[in-house]
Amino acid sequence: MSRTLRTAAATLAALGLLTACGSSGSSADAGGKSTITFWDNNAGPARTPLFQHLIDEFEKANPNITVKYVGVTSSEVAEKYNTAIASNSTPDVGGVTTALLASLTAQKALAPLDERYAKSPLNGKISANFLATSKSASGGKGLFQLPSSGNQDVLWYRTDKFKAANLTAPKTWDELFADAAKLTDKSKNQYGFTIRGGSGSVFQVLSEAYAYSGISSMFDANGRSTVDDPKNVELIEKIVAQYKNTTPEADVSNAYPQMLAQFQANQTLMVHHNLGSTKDVGTALGDKVAGTLLPAGPSGSAVLANPVDGFGLFKNSKHQDAAWKFIEFLDSHESNSYWNQNVGQIPANTEACADEWYTKSGITKQAGDLLNAAGTKLVQPPVYLPQYSKITKTDAEPNFQKVLLGKLSAADFAKGVADAFTKAQSDYKAKNG
């Protein structure tokens, strides 16, 4: 079967439109050949062709291994994995972000990778901070995902508007707020900044708070969450004070798509997002846009770790050696560099960080250098907590909207999140040690 037909059939299978793959999703063929199944956890027209190319290259180098590609959209992948685990039909290899890692390890679906990585040629070449984020996401239980790509929060700003106003990229939060005020012209429906008040708001405001406070851990030595530390609250109050003054009123419900649309339409001139929007802003605005790192606060800065993408080896695979060989190939210098150059992310393989495209990538390199620096304060969000999504999205996002609308104080908002994290952490420790 041709690669195109094989991919199309596999994608349909992943979406439940064809018969589900059999136990472990792998098969043995005659003559010592094996077929392994790979699920892409964020399939689409931008990523699928990249994986098809890498699979072709892998199969050329390993003629005894055939890789069946299955494309699953990011909105469906958690449900698809849970269904596959329940029916004992997991793939051999799957794309796994650290946001999903806790759920998969709790269900004991993934094989530990510590020994394989220790013996691999990749040992010592994968970013230490990416590995730390991966291990933290599984609750510190070991390595269950080999990182492939990193992301980081950045501030996009309109270089043309900054130049016209004789401004440069802000280095501190006070500079950012002053620039936002100078760039705001409500008579032209032009605002200097934008706040994410809709879906995804809480992770973003916490990223801003920890960048300002410089606090290096989500929990203190006694297991108490640091979210409501006065320095974090101070920044949240400063952010909220911008609402309707240097930001649009619609920000109270805006998520990433609306924020990006405003930015592209000259309605907002600075927007906080991450490297995932590099292609979107570049395509829309060309040389009129640039990125910079989130500003530092008076006590320095810390970085709230973004989810790390990577690959997991499923425990039920009947061809674990072949599956691991495929993972090693995907994370090799050449493959990892090819992948991240095309998706605009930070390579997990540090050898790729010396490649020309990366050294000239501007904000991508700046963000990668920060993440990989030995002295970086990397704050690990407790995604391993079963209640993490409920705390940060279901409960906290509506409360942050109340803060913007003046119905809840920033201090009470932060305390609510901190109290919930503290209890969830205590319960987790009591159960898992």
Q: Domain check: are 256 and 366 in the same one?
A: no
pLDDT of 300 reads 83
Q: Between 396-404 and 230-242, two packed helices, what is the crossing angle to 10 degrees?
A: 60
Neighbouring CB atoms inside 10 A of 287's CB total 8
Q: Is residue 243's pLDDT more than 70?
A: yes
Average pLDDT over all residues of the chain: 92
- Phi and psi angles of residue 296, each rounded to the nearest 5 degrees, phi first: -90, 160
Q: Is residue 21's pLDDT more than 90?
A: no
Q: Is residue 299's pLDDT more than 90?
A: no
Single out the residue of 412, 419, 410, 421 nearest to residue 208, CA to CA.
410
Mean pLDDT lowest among 19-33, 61-75, 133-147, 150-164: 19-33
Task: Give the amino acid at 333.
Answer: H
Q: Is residue 207's pLDDT more than 50?
A: yes
Distance CA 65, CA 67 (A): 7
pLDDT of 100 reads 92
Residue 11: which pLDDT band, with cuts at 50, 70 and 90?
A: very low
What average pLDDT does this structure show over 406-429? 97
What average pLDDT does this structure show over 282-294? 95
Q: Domain check: are 67 and 86 in the same one?
A: yes
Q: Is residue 26's pLDDT more than 90?
A: no
Q: Are 121 and 328 in contact (CB under 8 A)?
A: yes
Domain boundary among 371, 405, 422: 371
Q: Is residue 8's pLDDT more than 70?
A: no
Greater confidence (48 vs 30) lies with 48
Q: What is the CA radius of gyration of the chain?
A: 22
Query: What CATH number is given to the structural domain containing 322?
Result: 3.40.190.10
Task: Encode pLDDT of 135-167 as tens digits.
Answer: 999 988 899 999 999 999 999 999 999 999 999
- Strand, coil or helix: 66: strand
Q: Is residue 25's pLDDT more than 50?
A: no
- Strand, coil or helix: 50: helix
What average pLDDT does this structure show over 368-381? 91
Task: Say what the alpha-carbon torsion angle 291, 297, 298, 304 is, to the nearest 10 degrees.
Answer: -120
The β-bridge relationship of strands 93-97 and 34-40 is parallel
Show the domain range for 335.
34-151+307-371
Question: Does residue 134 lie within any of the structural domains?
Answer: yes
In whole angstroms, what separates CA 265 from the centre of its chain? 26
Q: Domain check: are 114 and 227 in the same one?
A: no
Q: What is the DSSP letter of 139?
A: T
- Strand, coil or helix: 149: strand
Single out the residue of 93, 76, 109 nearest to residue 34, CA to CA.
93
Task: Encode pLDDT of 85-112 as tens digits.
Answer: 999 999 999 999 998 999 999 999 999 9
Question: Does residue 122 lie within any of the structural domains?
Answer: yes
Question: Does residue 66 lie within any of the structural domains?
Answer: yes
Neighbouring CB atoms inside 10 A of 328's CB total 18
Residue 19: which pLDDT band, with cuts at 50, 70 and 90?
A: very low
